[in-house]
Amino acid sequence: MTEAKSGQSKADAVAAPAAKKAAEEADEERVAKELRTRRTMQLENSQAAVKKLEGELKDVRKTAKRCETLTNHSEGFYDEINKLAKGKTLVEATPLFVDQANDIIRDAKDIVTSDVYLDRIKEFAPAGNNPVYPEILVAVRAVRQSLG
User: What are the residue ranges spanned by the domains of the chain?
Assistant: 2-147
pLDDT computed for residue 53 by the predictor: 92
What are the pLDDT digits (tens) for 12-56? 666 777 778 888 888 889 999 999 999 999 999 999 999 999 999
Alpha helices by DSSP H, listed for the chain, are 2-85, 95-111, 116-120, 133-147
CA distance 118 to 112: 8
Q: Residue 148's pLDDT band (boundaries 50, 70, 90)? A: confident
What are the pLDDT digits (tens) for 85-108? 887 668 888 889 999 999 999 999
pLDDT computed for residue 34 by the predictor: 92
pLDDT tops 80 at residue 10: no
pLDDT computed for residue 9 by the predictor: 67
CA distance 66 to 114: 17
pLDDT computed for residue 16 by the predictor: 72
